[in-house]
Amino acid sequence: MENTAQTHKPKNTKFVFILATIIILGGGFGIYKYLHSQTYETTDDAQIERNLNPIIPRVGGYIDRVYVHDNQMVKKGDTLFTIQPVDYLVKVEEAKAALLAAESAYEVAKADVNAASANVAISDATIQSNTGTIEAAEIRLQQATNDFNRYANLYKNHSITKQQYEQALTSKLEAEKQVEVLKQQRRASSSQKNAVVSKTDVASKQTEVAHANIERAKATLKAAELNLSYATVVAAVDGQVSNIKLQPGQLVNAGQSMFYIINNTETWVVANFKETQLNKIRAGQLVEIKVDAYPDDVIEGQVESFSPATGSKFALLPPDNATGNFVKTVQRLPVKITFTEHNKPEIIAMLRPGMNVDVDVHTK
């Protein structure tokens, strides 16, 4: 029996040693976690984010040529693909022809205005001439009237013959009739002038209409030229294109999303912290970031801003706690974390949107 006791003693010592080691390590880990929680807020519900710029053609048509391939790096202004431009070239030519017609109509309208203005001037000259002729005729009438009055007195005294009296009367009547005819001519000239002035006003309105048609034709031409330029789809930003599923001859519609360009100019992290963790987190606090894809590299960041609402509020079907049985669930609030300038550019360049990261926010 002594041999048996001596045989089990080393085993018990080994078990106690292992148990003590586990307790010490567990306690140390617990103490570390406790101390860490006093100065850090941590979450693994975080991902890398970048702007995804959709490539959407402004005009529809058949693909003419594709200039990029999957995952290619592009610069702002690089041609991505082109749409067959024949239809849009025809629209441009039609708009140019319409502009020429509008300009010709405008020139004709201006010529009509000039002709009408000239007719107004002629009418004014005719009226002035009639006025002068009437004044001369009235002078002659006055003279004929005076002569008639003298001859009438002489005829009463039998100093002249009846023939002389009648000649004076005839001269007076002719002068009166001449004055009346000239006044009628002046009235006719005035009426003609009014008609010409009305025609001038109409011609001026037609000129305004013709000018408006020119502006409309110019706008139509500009729109046609813009649509023609839209047949060439270019990159709006620097970045990397996504998977491209385009081929020549494929029909695309205006407003249809074709693929994406991932903007490489700005990268950040969105960390979804529990609402119970937000009490100590403030904008500007430093953050340690570890990317699952590159666990040996620690990236430095800082808290930039907080979402205006929890993530569940932006869901397609947000929860409504006023309906059904209420079960309290801890909500998460997205927090935007940007990278500082102390990081290596090559590490930031390797990051891709959607990568999982762990973040530790220095709360003190």
| Backbone angles phi and psi of 3, in degrees to 5 | -65, -40
Cα separation, 63 vs 251, whole angstroms = 6
| Cα–Cα distance list, 46 to 37, 40, 177, 224, 362 (Å) | 18, 16, 110, 47, 16
Same domain, 268 and 164: no
Same domain, 211 and 274: no
Same domain, 160 and 206: yes
Domain count, the chain: 3
Cα separation, 74 vs 282, whole angstroms = 37
pLDDT for residue 233: 95
- pLDDT tens digit at each of 364 positions of the chain: 444 444 445 556 877 778 777 887 777 767 666 655 567 789 999 999 999 999 999 999 999 999 999 999 999 999 999 999 999 999 999 999 999 998 888 888 777 666 666 665 666 666 666 666 767 767 777 777 776 677 677 767 776 777 777 777 787 777 777 767 766 766 766 666 666 666 666 667 777 887 888 899 999 999 999 999 999 999 999 999 999 989 999 999 999 999 999 998 899 999 999 999 999 899 999 999 999 999 889 999 999 999 999 988 888 777 777 666 777 888 999 999 999 998 988 899 899 999 999 999 998 7
Residue with tokens 């594709």: 66
Domain span at residue 270 reads 38-50+264-364
Same domain, 250 and 326: no
Q: Under DSSP, is residue 295 helix (H, G, I), strand (E, B) or coil?
A: strand
Domain end, chosen from 240, 256, 272, is at 256
Domain end, chosen from 223, 243, 277, is at 223
Token digits of residue 13? 């010592």
Same domain, 206 and 102: yes
Same domain, 207 and 108: yes
Going by C-alpha positions, the residue among 43, 44, 42, 46 that lies closest to residue 354 is 46
Q: Which residues contact 147 (CB under 8 A, 6 or more apart)?
A: 168, 171, 172
pLDDT for residue 269: 96
pLDDT for residue 222: 95
The single-letter DSSP state of residue 313 is G
CATH number of the CATH domain containing 79: 2.40.50.100
Which sign does the torsion angle of CA 62, 64, 69, 73 carry? negative
Cα separation, 191 vs 58, whole angstroms = 59
Cα separation, 174 vs 115, whole angstroms = 38
Q: Which residues contact 138 (CB under 8 A, 6 or more apart)?
A: 179
CATH number of the CATH domain containing 339: 2.40.30.170
Same domain, 102 and 203: yes
Same domain, 98 and 216: yes
Taking the whole predicted model, whether its pTM rises above 0.95 is answered as no
- Provide the phi-psi class of 133: left if phi over 0, else alpha when psi is between -120 and 50, else beta: alpha
Q: Under DSSP, is residue 361 helix (H, G, I), strand (E, B) or coil?
A: strand
